[in-house]
Structure 1
Amino acid sequence: MHIKRSMAIAGMALMATAAAATEQESTTIDIAGHTVPVLKGGLYDRYRSNPPLSVIQQEAPDVDLGWFKTLKKEKVDVGFETWSPNFYYKDSRITAIFTADIDRLRELVPAAVREQVQPLQVWPGRGVVALTAYAYHYCDNDSYNEISLSVVTNRPGSSSFGPFSLLGQARAKDFWGYVLKLPVNTELARVRGVVGYGLPKWLTAIRLREDERTIAFELIDPDSGKADLVLEGSKLPGLSNEAELVTNSFVNVGRDGALNYGYAVSRQLSHASSGDAQAVHLTLGEGSLAAYIKSLKLGKMLRYEYVPEFQSALYAPRPLDGLPPGR
């Protein structure tokens, strides 16, 4: 893993890409009082998070919809009317898991949340964060890119045993965390995430590029217009094509001030991982997100995950006091 402390990469090409994306014809809709541009005739414009699977099959005949047929959507009110879970039919991601300064992580998690979950301490003075870059190629919200920075925590109601809790979550493929940052590159994703899920989303350009050997996500600082973060990972060999389910859950403060939890279940169709620090490169610029990440004092890269193909179901937040045992 390499973290570069400065970058001279201009963002002109990235901004041009973002501008090209906006050239698609759009229309505006209202979400909880926000005027939101969406792709005209896109899935969200037509179906508001509840497209018939028959439509998906017609528009994306290469997508296996078998798993989604086993899931049931329900209408919910999350500050606006929508359907849960939200389906992500064709996606890819890379994840880098680092150690970080435990005191800083504790500062960043709100006190109310810390009463229920704590950052895992894997050894003295060091906690764990997960940095994940997503490309949602085809989903109920059309398509968008996203970068997530999360603190890994214990499960609510369970004791924190540091590295043993981390290993237990890895074995169970059931992870818990607190989301610190979640930039996205469409206003639809931003508004839905902020209003409906209470997540720390903001809008900025995020570009995906790849070649035969690597896949990279480049995030533009909205103030300077320059690249502020580049997460580049190797396309690992020996991909497993055995489908596996992974659950990622988060705790946060809801609109009413009470604690909520939300979760996504991912069906990983093609995946590989590595502990080799050379498999992933993180480059930080001089913008606000880079400064925030630098304050975490990232250390050892514990695990890199390359998941070129997965599907996901994201469930609407629910009151934390209703969390069922074992979930």
Structure 2
Amino acid sequence: MEFTEITLGDRTVPVVENGYYDRYRMNPDLEEIQRDPAVGDLAFFRRMPKRMTDSALGPMWTPNFYYRASSAQLLFAVPLSRLRAHLPAPLEPVRILPGVGLIALALYRYEICDNDPYNEVGVAVVVHDPRRHRARTLGFLDSLRRRVGYAHVLALPVNTEIARVRGVDGYNLPKWRTDIDVSIDGQVYARVAGTEGRTDIEVGAKLPAIRKLPPGSRVSATKLIHTLGGRWHETTTQTNALAIGAQFLPTHVRLLRGTGPLGDLLTELGVDRPLRMEVTTEAQLALHLPRPLAL
């Protein structure tokens, strides 16, 4: 694979030569993209035309399209006392029991997207909508009904430089670059490299029963609540799930913690056995730029 250099903000970043970013600079011709047999139907993206928007990296086309992706998310119950040290005020964690909150460990494989293929692993606290100061329980139930989730990201390593620079400089998310393998096919597997090439974390799991969905029948949104330039912002990702499965109290999950920041973080949070696993073997995503949020 050959690389070329592009300018992103005040940085020079390598990207795949003749890849999607090199060719389209985040503003692709969907008629050309549609000719790729691996992409599939593009109706989800045609409903949200891109626009040029100011960002922390300068003017940028948004949203960022992910034409083919897969993911796995593990939810863990952890003591609220462990979360407090990692969750800034005024954010409030969702409580599933007195003194118990939720941590999400998510594995992402982005096979075809505007800024070229990459893998990503995230650790986040599940939080309430920060604009709802009352009736938080009702607000959380309403969010579930509307398929909208809120989270505060604690760690988000990636395996390409353009994904790291966009995430750190453009979104102020806790990203760093390291080797990451993610496979969501016959089984779920992920490995994140830690210090000196050792394993940081390794995840293995059996796939739950997967069901195919009609395009557009299950669109959800995840809203990341974070600061950017000293102000609170909200970053929205819309997901059009095309094949998905879930399991409560999964028994065939292996989580190995080695030497590195992710393993250390999961240990600090008191992560043990997962409560729920959701696997999306095929999906389309749209990642929007951060929007200011008045808290």
Q: In structure 2, give the amino acid aligned to 1:224.
A: E
Matched, 1:292 2:265: yes
Matched, 1:196 2:190: no
Tell me the equivalent position of 2:82. 104
Match of 2:213, SS state, is: coil
- In 1, Cα distance between the equivalents of 2:115 and 2:46? 19
- In 2, Cα distance between the equivalents of 1:123 and 1:199? 29
Match of 2:196, SS state, is: coil
Q: Is the 8 A contact 1:133 1:231 kept in 2?
A: no
Tell me whether 162-171 or 181-190 shows the greater mean CA deviation.
Answer: 162-171
Tell me the equivalent position of 1:45. 22
- In 2, Cα distance between the equivalents of 1:308 and 1:206? 18
Tell me the equivalent position of 2:96. 122
Over 3 Å counting, the alpha-carbon distance change for 1:231 and 1:120 in structure 2 is same
Over 3 Å counting, the alpha-carbon distance change for 1:300 and 1:227 in structure 2 is closer
Tell me whether 308-317 or 152-161 shows the greater mean CA deviation.
Answer: 152-161
Residue 107 of structure 1, CA deviation: 1.5
Match of 1:251, SS state, is: strand
Q: In structure 2, give the amino acid aligned to 1:229.
A: I
RMSD: 1.9
Tell me whether 223-232 or 266-275 shows the greater mean CA deviation.
Answer: 223-232
For 2:68, which of 73, 85, 90 is the aligned residue?
90
Q: C-alpha offsets along residues 100-151 of structure 1, whole Å, 9 cap, x if unaligned?
A: 12122121122xxx22x31112212211011100000000011000001110
Q: Is the 8 A contact 1:25 1:39 kept in 2?
A: yes
Name which structure has the greater RCO, CA cutoff 8 Å, separation 6+. 1
Q: Is the 8 A contact 2:72 2:106 kept in 1?
A: yes
- In 2, Cα distance between the equivalents of 1:171 and 1:233? 28
- In 1, Cα distance between the equivalents of 2:134 and 2:210? 34
Tell me the equivalent position of 1:8. none
Matched, 1:281 2:254: yes
Query: How many residues in Structure 1 have an aligned counterpart in Structure 2?
Result: 292
Tell me the equivalent position of 1:55. 32
Q: C-alpha offsets along residues 51-88 of structure 1, whole Å, 9 cap, x if unaligned?
A: 11012112346511011111121111212221111100
Matched, 1:143 2:117: yes
TM-score (norm 2): 0.93
- In 2, Cα distance between the equivalents of 1:42 and 1:50? 13
Q: After the TM superposition, which residues 1-327 of structure 1 pair with which residues of structure 2 at under 5 Å, given as runs?
A: 24-60=1-37, 62-80=39-57, 81-110=59-88, 114-115=89-90, 117-159=91-133, 166-209=140-183, 212=186, 214-221=187-194, 223-242=195-214, 243-255=217-229, 257-321=230-294
Tell me the equivalent position of 1:12. none
Aligned identity (percent) is 34
Residue 228 of structure 1, CA deviation: 1.2
Residue 164 of structure 1, CA deviation: 5.8
TM-score (norm 1): 0.84
Match of 2:264, SS state, is: helix
Tell me whether 32-41 or 181-190 shows the greater mean CA deviation.
Answer: 32-41
- In 1, Cα distance between the equivalents of 2:27 and 2:255? 37
Match of 2:82, SS state, is: helix
Residue 211 of structure 1, CA deviation: 6.0
Residue 30 of structure 1, CA deviation: 1.5
Could you tell me which runs of 5 or more consecutive residues in structure 2 were left unpaired when the two chains were aligned.
Answer: none
Match of 1:203, SS state, is: coil
Over 3 Å counting, the alpha-carbon distance change for 1:160 and 1:281 in structure 2 is farther
Over 3 Å counting, the alpha-carbon distance change for 1:61 and 1:207 in structure 2 is closer
Residue 172 of structure 1, CA deviation: 2.0
Match of 2:269, SS state, is: coil
